Structure 1
Amino acid sequence: RRNAAWVFGGFEVNSGWSPPGWSFCIGLLHAAYATSATGMVVSMCEEVQRPATQVPKALVGAILLNMLCGLIFLIPICFVINDISAVINDPTGQPLPAILSSAIGNEVGAFVLTVPIIILGIFCGTGCTTAAARCTWAFARDGAIPGSRRLKFDSVNQKFGLPLNAMMLCWLVQVLLGLIYLGSSAAFNAFNGSGVIFLTLSYVIPVAISFFSGRKALTNAQFNLGKLGWFANAASIAWCAFAIPLFSMPSALPVNQSNMNYACVVFVGGLVIAAGWYALKGKQYDGPRTTETTEVLARQPSHVSATRKNSGHG
């Protein structure tokens, strides 16, 4: 077992990167992947009562809860890590089962302890799919997804009260990513890593617009940090400017075909596709479209606020 000095103060560089501080920064990709989807809570705005106050609370609460649960989970794991090199070189590529198996001494016990993590992963995937479906539906409603009208990605299923077609599209993408993983883990990791980069870019754009426009739109906001908000915006912009190229770096040296980080390729490809679509259809954009509903429907969580008509522009 490891002692507290190693758990809270130990630092080992096994990636080949130097100096050690840069190796630490490279390792932040995994932490960023675990928390990067926090902002997807905003996708649920149209199904939340008083979203102007409740959604910010959910964002902050999710970050604090993630931090607490992460520490409760990771600190004991760090205490029972025996051989880091064995974990890194485990043929399964899954560190948690390897750590638990080494700590317990048998694979059956490790599997039993892994089951709750798998269940949590299923719940997490359900939540991510729910938020992604709403985000896809909102994009489709604005005409930002090719073929959205014809394939009804912009519609809400009246029977289930949710954007079913948009959810099926998200499900299909997940299945395709799973098939990619069976063929090439490097390609799968490229899509995963590019997702973090895309989310980081999407977060910094509104922050930068607000910052460079003097934060005028936030004058009467429900949550106004005042002068501290300037610092928060500047820190966010600086971090994102650093993180986007950082997360495109390979995780280890020397670089070979298997450990190369191809996220930058997917990222640039996504930008090219988005730019091309904007060049073709950007002038036809007349949104963002908003939806209206009655107060009664707003109180029913099973209904999406878009079950009514498109009412015009926001």
Structure 2
Amino acid sequence: MDHHKEAESHVDSDPNFLDAGEPNALVSEKNGTTADVHDMMRMGKRQETQRNFRHITIIGFCMVILSTWEAILSTAVFSLSNGGTAGLIWGYLICMIGFGFVVASLAEMASMAPTSGGQYHWVSEFAPPSCQRFLSYIVGWLGVLGWQTAAATVSYLTGKQLQALIILWDSSYVPQAWQGTMLIWAVLAVSLIFNTFFSRKLPLVEGVIVVLHVAGFFAVIIPLWVMGDRSNTGDVFTLFQDNMEWGNVPLSTMVGLTGAASCFVGIEAGAHMAEEVRNAAHVIPRAMMWTWIGNGLMGWIMAITFCFCVGDTMSVLLTPLGSQQIQVFLNTTGSAAGATGLTCIMLVIGVFACVAVMATNSRQLFAFARDNGVPFSSIFSQVSPTLGVPLNSVYLTILFVLLLSLINLGSSVAFMQVISLGVAAMLTSYLISIGCVALKRIRGEPLLPSKFNLGRLGLPINIIAVLFLLFLWVFTFFPSAPHPAVADMNWAVLGYGLVIIFALVYYAIHGRHVYIGPVEYVRKGQ
């Protein structure tokens, strides 16, 4: 099916695409507002999904998918190992501020072109004509890689917490790799159900979970403050530690930034749901900014609280539970039941964060397939007429993560290293996208109209974002400790390189013949 030719005939013949008589009036439940209709018409896309999300529900969706305060607890081990408590607190704040420039840049582009394609579409529209198609194609593959591995990450971390709870109640239990893999599959099964049978209820479900996300923040933080033995304030905020023996505390701290940065990767999730959001050009950028500031502040407060309750850092890092936050919960509450209760809040949120990740990556894959960017594009660009979601893209995501989880049977370390390459892939997609729009500004070329316009601050914001992303990108390929054994190497660079090579080979053989980039379907002058 040629979605773009069909889109043009649909635009020209469907009365729903006519102006409703007033600015941004509602056209229909499926097509959204007149602004949505105009945006889809300009981009040459056919409206195939339902616009079920509103302002509040998409903010809830974005906040749950990022789950920053939960994520900082799960990834704290990396920053504590490389930088100590001060490294975790100040490193997180640096990442939050840096990502503020990144989010603002992405939000502006999301308002200019509100499409599920996200970064690869923006690159196609904003890159110099000489490299639009090629750069867009590479960014599309990096986006697919990043979001597919994100589902593996969330499901793995959720399963790991479940195993830690079993150890908490039964010290004789020895976690087995196959059991961890089965837990990943269980989380994926829940995600599949909610992304198929309950897909139309997803805004409501994620709206309920965001209430738990906010309430859970207070449910966790209050016991930590009230019941915990707090460390010395001076030590918590000023004691930087090189626990992994890099021989250089500043270097160790910079390596630890990757843990904090991973809490913000995926901040553009709302953009990939743009074709299911009413008044997307206005709503999506604001949802992204509210997610950044709201989740960011909750994450920083949780990071500070966690650091005050850690106590002996090394004993927490070496906990037999295999989960540092559960060990801190146990130390604070003094009971397994208390630690279990706090952890269960995180587990529920983790499962539904995976549901949201699954929805996001299936839409990104669907959009790229719609533009003939992946093998068997005609299959993965189909949208179920009954459920209104790209079912084949959902199924492929499930299959990919299932296959990826088999690596966990051989080595959990190797599995974590493989999925960590998703962070590098996402940072690269942000970097190229923002770099393209910054270049247009430097050249004085006109940009598309935006309902979230950075104005004169646009160029400095873009440049700061690019420099920050370049800095982070380098450290995503560092090992977690100096002089690692072969098994402990950071193999993300290998996986990253293999994906790039595969994309280049596929592009040379087939992609360049069928992929022309979204910009070619854009209606000029709209």
Q: State the alpha-carbon separation in 2 of the partners of residues 65 and 249 from structure 1.
A: 30
Q: Is the 8 A contact 1:207 1:237 kept in 2?
A: yes
Q: State the alpha-carbon separation in 2 of the partners of residues 205 and 155 from structure 1.
A: 28
Q: 1:92 to 1:272 in 2, by over 3 A?
A: farther
Say which of 249, 252, 269 aligns to 1:40. Answer: 269
Q: Is the 8 A contact 1:189 1:263 kept in 2?
A: no
The match for 1:134 is 363
Q: State the alpha-carbon separation in 1 of the partners of residues 470 and 272 from structure 2.
A: 24
Say which of 278, 292, 312 aligns to 1:49. Answer: 278
1:122 to partner: Cα distance: 1.0
Q: 1:61 to 1:217 in 2, by over 3 A?
A: farther
The match for 1:284 is 514
Say which of 366, 375, 385 aligns to 1:158. Answer: 385
Q: State the alpha-carbon separation in 1 of the partners of residues 352 and 484 from structure 2.
A: 35
Q: State the alpha-carbon separation in 2 of the partners of residues 109 and 175 from structure 1.
A: 33
Residue 234 (structure 2) pairs with residue 5 (structure 1): yes
The match for 1:212 is 439
What CA deviation, in whole Å up to 9, does each residue of 1:40-65 have, x standing for no partner?
22111111222222111111111111
| TM, length-normalised to structure 2 | 0.52
Residue 394 (structure 2) pairs with residue 167 (structure 1): yes
Q: State the alpha-carbon separation in 2 of the partners of residues 256 and 217 from structure 1.
A: 51
> Percent of aligned pairs with the same residue?
30
Partner SS for 2:479: coil
Say which of 289, 294, 298 aligns to 1:65. Answer: 294
Q: Is the 8 A contact 1:287 1:313 kept in 2?
A: no
Residue 249 (structure 2) pairs with residue 20 (structure 1): yes
Q: Is the 8 A contact 2:242 2:248 kept in 1?
A: no
Q: State the alpha-carbon separation in 1 of the partners of residues 398 and 260 from structure 2.
A: 24
Q: Is the 8 A contact 1:141 1:289 kept in 2?
A: no
The match for 1:143 is 372
Q: State the alpha-carbon separation in 1 of the partners of residues 258 and 264 from structure 2.
A: 10
Residue 415 (structure 2) pairs with residue 185 (structure 1): no
1:217 to partner: Cα distance: 4.1
Amino acid at match of 2:518: P
Q: State the alpha-carbon separation in 1 of the partners of residues 459 and 474 from structure 2.
A: 24
Say which of 480, 484, 496 aligns to 1:255. Answer: 484
Corresponding residue pairs, total = 291
Say which of 294, 297, 315 aligns to 1:86. Answer: 315
Q: State the alpha-carbon separation in 1 of the partners of residues 370 and 272 from structure 2.
A: 13
Q: State the alpha-carbon separation in 1 of the partners of residues 260 and 447 from structure 2.
A: 30
Partner SS for 1:90: coil
What CA deviation, in whole Å up to 9, does each residue of 1:245-302 have, x standing for no partner?
2110001123123432111111111110111111122132244299xxxxxxxxxxxx
1:72 to partner: Cα distance: 3.6
CA RMSD of aligned residues (A): 2.1
Partner SS for 1:35: coil
1:128 to partner: Cα distance: 0.9
- Unmatched segments (≥5 aa) in structure 2: 1-228
1:220 to partner: Cα distance: 3.4
1:133 to partner: Cα distance: 0.8
Higher percent of residues as helix: 2
Q: Is the 8 A contact 2:363 2:393 kept in 1?
A: yes
Q: State the alpha-carbon separation in 2 of the partners of residues 206 and 94 from structure 1.
A: 36
Amino acid at match of 2:312: D
Amino acid at match of 2:397: C
Moved more, 55-64 or 169-178: 169-178
Q: State the alpha-carbon separation in 1 of the partners of residues 237 and 349 from structure 2.
A: 26
Q: Greater relative contact order: 1 or 2 (C-alpha under 8 angstroms, separation 6 or more)?
A: 2
Partner SS for 1:173: helix
The match for 1:244 is 473
Partner SS for 2:267: helix
1:219 to partner: Cα distance: 6.3
The match for 2:303 is 74
